[in-house]
């Protein structure tokens, strides 16, 4: 029997094994993907992973001035046709490596399921492409470290898809959370609730979702090999093989924002509890609580559920000795400690939100994508750099490990492993 690595090298035509051992960079020339762009040069983008999220970010890129969508890759041919409806002249590929071979592509947007991020990110950098990588950046510590090895010294621009880091809320939060206003910060309370079955993630399976139209082996990546199952392809967020559930979908946004604002490190320890109480078709939890013990001596908590929306989707409270910072999307306020004013502000932030589930859109999308495109030209560091993506991904991975193992887990800083 062949080894696991050999097996995936065979069934994926080398995709997984190339990401494991490194893929030699594509040849570079005057017209290649590593061309030096001037301030007014057109940025040519390709998309890997053209589901709902991928199509959304490709449209955002197309709305950026002097930007052209030239290629798309997806294992499901239906997605090719969907993209062609709004980008008629785009080149389409089933094998993402053919897109990376395309020297007309300067930058790659990656919006594949989470278990495939590293398998697309690493070869993209090695092919000389700049990368916009959707969150959660990495599926496991091994994937995160693989991605870091590829990124370090690459000279590539990498933006992680935590869109709030491109909002005006960052500067406001930094101003309000300054030590002279807050004193020592001991806790961050955050939550994300919505009242929608399965979190609004349930997708209808199209009639043409079959082995004739899907490269099933490429979709599986390094996950446990399984027989073709269209539900796993369309509703991949439901399955542990491919998803970290709402921790990877939404907690990462709130974690990433405050990790950037307060420059927080990977947690010392994480405890997650919860379960799947009302969603029998889904493996990942629908109700959950996460507590992260931060090395800065503060407790970062996050709780979430899919069957009540009394609390707004994204309110966050940073608690300091001298005051509280309250964030609701781009609205950031400071409340001095104590008195009626603090109670009134907290009550105002706890009012129900009328928003429904939305996994593909945000008022901050355009600015985040524009920041990436600008950095492709300027070679400056983008608003959500690799390091923020790395730290927030490890925090999320620790939460899932805690839930699945039924215990508190810790981060070994020397070995860089969850223990």
Could you read off the pLDDT of 367-413 as tens digits, one per residue?
999 999 999 999 999 999 999 999 999 999 999 999 999 999 999 99
CATH architecture of 167-200+239-353+393-418: 2-Layer Sandwich (3.30)
Task: Say whether pLDDT at 334 is over 80.
Answer: yes
Q: Is the pLDDT of residue 4 over 60?
A: no
* pLDDT (0 to 100) of residue 9: 41
Query: What is the reported pLDDT for 40?
Result: 76
The backbone torsions φ and ψ at residue 102, rounded to the nearest 5 degrees and listed phi first, read: -75, 110
CA distance 96 to 46: 10
State how far the Cα of 183 lies from the Cα of 318, in Å rounded to an integer: 11
Query: Considering the chain, what percentage of its residues have pLDDT values greater than 90?
Result: 82
For residue 340, name the pLDDT band (cuts at 50, 70, 90).
low
Task: Give the integer Cα–Cα distance in Å for 338 and 413.
Answer: 38
Joined tokens for residue 385:
């750099």
Q: What are the boundaries of each domain within the chain?
A: 4-165+366-385, 167-200+239-353+393-418
Beta strand spans in 101-219 (E):
107-110, 130-133, 158-160, 185-193
Give dist(CA 286, CA 113) in Å, integer: 19
Cα–Cα separations (whole angstroms), residue 104 to 28, 57, 96, 129, 241: 11, 19, 14, 10, 34
* Residue 353 confidence (pLDDT) above 80: no
The CATH T-level fold of domain 4-165+366-385 is Rossmann fold (3.40.50)
| Burial 4-31, CB ≥16 within 10 A → b, else e | eeeebbebbeebbbbbbeebebbeeeee
Name which of 33-47, 76-90, 298-312, 323-337 the model is least confident about.
Answer: 33-47
Contact partners, residue 56, CB within 8 Å, separation at least 6? 360, 361, 365
Q: Dig out the tokens for 52 from the structure.
A: 């709902």
Report the side by side order of strands in the sheet with 67-73.
91-93, 67-73, 43-48, 107-110, 130-133, 158-160
Whole-structure pTM value: 0.89
Q: What is the mean pLDDT of residues 206-212?
A: 98
pLDDT at 355: 46
pLDDT tens string 113-158: 999 999 999 999 999 999 999 999 999 999 999 999 999 999 999 9
- Average the pLDDT over 202-206 and give the result: 97
- Give the pLDDT confidence score for residue 39 in this predicted structure: 73
Q: Tell me the pLDDT tens digit for each residue of 210-241.
A: 999 999 999 999 999 999 999 999 999 999 99
| Averaged pLDDT for residues 53-79 | 98
List beta partners, residue 108.
46, 131
**Closest C-alpha among 86, 94, 97, 91 to residue 58:** 86
């Amino acid at each position: 029997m062949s080894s696991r690595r050999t097996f995936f090298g065979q069934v994926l035509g080398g995709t997984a094994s190339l990401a494991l051992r490194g893929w030699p960079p594509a040849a570079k020339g005057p017209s290649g993907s590593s061309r030096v762009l001037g301030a007014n040069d057109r940025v040519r983008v390709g998309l890997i992973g053209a589901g709902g999220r991928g199509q959304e970010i490709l449209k955002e890129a197309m709305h950026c001035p002097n930007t052209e969508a030239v290629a798309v890759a997806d294992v499901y041919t239906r997605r090719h046709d969907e993209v062609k409806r709004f980008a008629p002249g785009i080149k389409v590929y089933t094998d993402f490596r053919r897109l990376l071979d395309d020297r007309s592509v300067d930058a790659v947007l990656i919006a594949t399921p989470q278990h495939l991020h590293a398998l697309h990110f690493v070869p993209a950098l090695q092919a000389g492409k700049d990368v916009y990588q959707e969150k959660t950046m990495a599926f496991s510590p091994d994937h995160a470290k693989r991605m870091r090895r590829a990124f370090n010294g690459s000279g590539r621009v990498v933006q992680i898809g935590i869109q709030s880091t491109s909002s005006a809320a960052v500067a406001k939060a930094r101003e309000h959370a300054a030590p002279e206003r807050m004193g020592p910060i001991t806790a961050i309370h955050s939550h994300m609730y919505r009242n929608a079955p399965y979190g609004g993630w349930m997708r209808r399976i199209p009639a043409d979702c079959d082995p004739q139209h899907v490269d099933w082996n490429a979709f599986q990546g390094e996950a446990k090999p399984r027989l073709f199952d269209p539900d796993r392809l369309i509703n991949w967020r439901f399955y542990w093989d491919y998803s970290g559930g709402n921790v990877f979908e939404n907690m990462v946004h709130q974690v990433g924002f405050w990790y950037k604002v307060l420059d927080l490190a990977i947690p010392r320890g994480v405890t997650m509890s919860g379960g799947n109480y009302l969603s029998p078709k889904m493996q990942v939890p629908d109700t959950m609580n996460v507590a992260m013990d931060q090395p800065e001596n503060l407790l970062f908590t996050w709780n979430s559920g899919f069957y009540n929306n009394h609390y707004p989707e994204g309110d966050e409270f940073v608690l300091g000795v001298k005051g509280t910072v309250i964030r609701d999307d781009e609205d950031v306020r400071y409340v001095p400690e104590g008195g009626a004013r603090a109670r009134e502000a907290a009550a105002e932030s706890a009012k129900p939100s009328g928003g429904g589930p939305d996994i593909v859109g945000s008022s901050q999308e355009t600015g985040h994508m524009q920041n990436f495109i600008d950095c492709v030209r300027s070679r400056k560091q983008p608003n959500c750099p690799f390091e923020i993506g790395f730290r927030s991904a490890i925090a999320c991975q620790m939460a899932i490990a805690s839930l699945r193992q039924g215990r508190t887990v810790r981060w070994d800083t020397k070995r860089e492993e969850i223990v």
